[in-house]
Structure 1
Amino acid sequence: MMNTFIFFLVLIHVSGTLYAPRLLISRAGRSVTIKCYYETTSANRHGRKYWCKESTNRHSCQTIISTNDFIHKDYEGRVSMHDSPQSGILQVTMAQLVKTDSSNYRCGIGNKNAYGFYAGVNLTIWEGPNMPKSPEILWGKVRGSVMIQCPVETAKSSMRRSFCKMRRSGCSLIADTSMNKGKQQEGRIIFTAGNSSETFKVFINKLRKEDSGMYKCGTGMSDDNASSSIIQLEVTEELVFFNIVNDTATTYEPQTIWTSPQSYVTATNEVYKQRLSETELNLLPIVIPILLGFLVLAAAVIIVFLKIRKRKKGGWLDLAGPKCV
């Protein structure tokens, strides 16, 4: 069932400046909250934010709620929106969910729903038993690293462990344990043993924007294989990434994975404890010019003081008495 959802997810548009979960599954009668993250540029902070429902042909998108004090009459009393421009977070909550709420939605910025920046979200409302979980979402920053934990079926622990990216044509293999390091995208993809015999870890280093997408990892990798998991990876710019970090309030210790005696990579999941040191480095371009400015100002004051002192000495000499002719 989950793989059926993923087939449609690869068609969902995700903007370069707006990030949101691509697939959410919730039960009928409950509520769901969607958080969309955006770059805190002046245009984005002051622009119109909206949440709309796509038509079946996806050529139009009916506004449900927007920051222009608009709420569609069919959703009055069960939809709300909160925008935090300084944090770059747009939050939408839909309550009293019904089956007909299952659809593709857009979380966007702009005067028109068909233009501007938006992120596509598929919301599926479940009525029966055995509701599947929404895919785990991992956040990473450009040129950073993430760790993905994958399941291993005990009975198939000797099978090949694989990692693939969901596409229209199926799951495209990225790396597996049969590949040598040279084939694993030049060392960007690293497999390691997990914390137990039931898991293994995949590290993706030197993240790129195009790494964003839906992934599947595990053993066997058949469509009905229970020992596989679906993960959504979103790679963002650094400023958006740290806004997400502050919002989720989750911290992971960096882990060092040795690839050879000469080189190593530092990988982390979602959040970097390096924020403090990076902040200090970011302050250097500001602090150094200020210090230089103080030094120049001090030098100017000293020069003016010396000139005034010299003039006063010259004046006392003129007042000493008339010169003989």
Structure 2
Amino acid sequence: PVASSLYGSRFLAGGLGGSITHQCFYSPTPANKHDRKYWCKIARNGVCYTIISSRSYISSGYEGRVALGDAPQNGTFTVTMTGLRSSDAGTYRCGIGSTSEGLYVSLNLTVLADAPPSKPTQLIRGELHGSVTVLCPSGDTHSDKERFWCKMGRSICTLIASSDGYVGWRYQGRVLITPQESSGAFKVLMNDLRKEDSGLYLCGTRGWRGQDSPQEVVLQVATVSTIPRRPKFLSGTVGGSLAFQCHHDPKGTYERKYLCRWTGGSCSVLLDDEGFVLESYRGRVQMSSSDPGRYTVVLRQLREEDAGWYWCGARSGHAELTAPLKLLIHRG
């Protein structure tokens, strides 16, 4: 199956007599919007027998306890099963197509005597070359726990970034995990989005006793983008100066615009539009804004240690619009 266009949770747990709700997220192409949606269960012979489909079909034995709702404009369809029985445990597929072998995602359903409530999967949409902000409601206020962000493969979740400073090499300069708020929640910021970033992610906290129940996040990166690809690498010489522009939505309302220095999955603010300048940069960095939709940063008296990743940022509510750039510093 072309799994890159269809995403959903890989594991579900429900309580006996209780219910589960499962969301499938698909690329909202014209074909996907109008095609048949289905929910099937894999039998011992390996065949996936349809339980319900968007063509008004419901398998006998499931009438009155299964429902399927499709929202083509959002690229999601939802399956709800109620009155769970121990025999409902097993492997299911949610999919799109005329047969159960088309486009699908497999998942395992476990039916327990007493299942904890599950967190709904977040759907985040981003644009090619753009940025996203993911809110991870941890619920755990112990700041000594490691915060993590990983991407699900077929069976394992590959670590992308963690609060101990680890960032995978493919994500250098374009992902960070914020410190925890008093509620225990934290944010994951990701930018310079690419098509291959689409997929299912997990974020959460983990300590020496294991990880807490993570938040599932589906990221869909739109292949058509209104964001132009801008130069990401800038070059300067020791002792010289460098000016560059940071862009944001001219129609947007932002509480704060800033430039920060990215290292090891965190970003220290150097200056902002409220007048803050980091002590060690005073007198050699300046921000000005003349046109709506962009601001200019000038960095003077360049030093070799100025080389590295920087982020242009603009905050709007809990969302952060960010874009990376890398400074290359040469000796004169």
Query: Which has more helix, going by share of residues?
Result: 1
CA distance in 2, matches of 1:269, 1:113: 42
Matched with 1:60 is 47
AA matched with 2:260: T
SS of 1:44 mapped into structure 2: helix
SS at match of 2:51: strand
Give 5+ residue unaligned stretches, structure 2. 225-253, 262-269, 271-296, 298-310, 322-332
C-alpha separation in 2, matches of 1:270 and 1:112: 42
| CA contact 1:146–1:269 (8 Å) conserved in 2 | no
User: What do residues 120-179 of structure 1 show as CA deviations (whole Å, max 9, x unaligned)?
Assistant: 343322213xx3342552322244313243659666x45665544566786644333443
| SS, match of residue 62 in structure 1 | strand
The corresponding residue for 2:136 is: 149
1:52 CA displacement: 0.5
Larger radius of gyration: 1
Please report how far the alpha carbon of residue 62 of structure 1 lies from its aligned counterpart in structure 2 after TM superposition: 0.8
Which secondary structure does the structure 1 equivalent of 2:13 belong to? strand
Q: Deviations over 1:60-97 (max 9, x none)?
A: 21111223332211212322333344554433222211
Alpha-carbon distance change, 187 to 92 in structure 1, aligned in 2, over 3 angstroms: same
How many positions carry a matched residue from both structures?
Answer: 241
Residues 5 and 27 in structure 2, CA contact (< 8 A), matched pair in contact too: yes
Higher strand share: 2
TM-score normalised per structure 2: 0.57
Report deviation, 1:113: 0.6
Question: What stretches of structure 1 of length at least 5 have no aligned partner?
Answer: 1-12, 241-252, 274-325
Residue aligning to 2:260: 259
Write the deviation string for residues 268-303 of structure 1: whole angstroms up to 9, x where unpaired.
899899xxxxxxxxxxxxxxxxxxxxxxxxxxxxxx
CA distance in 2, matches of 1:269, 1:25: 34
Deviations, residues 232-259 of structure 1 (Å, cap 9, x unaligned):
221114499xxxxxxxxxxxx9987752
Paired residues for 1:1-325 under 5 Å: 15-56=3-44, 59-85=46-72, 88-114=75-101, 116-128=102-114, 131-135=115-119, 137-142=121-126, 143=128, 144-149=131-136, 151=138, 157-158=143-144, 161-165=147-151, 172-179=158-165, 185-196=171-182, 198-211=184-197, 212-220=199-207, 222=208, 224-225=209-210, 228-238=212-222, 258-260=259-261, 261=270, 263-266=311-314
TM normalised by structure 1 equals 0.58
Give the share of equivalent positions with the same residue, in percent. Answer: 35
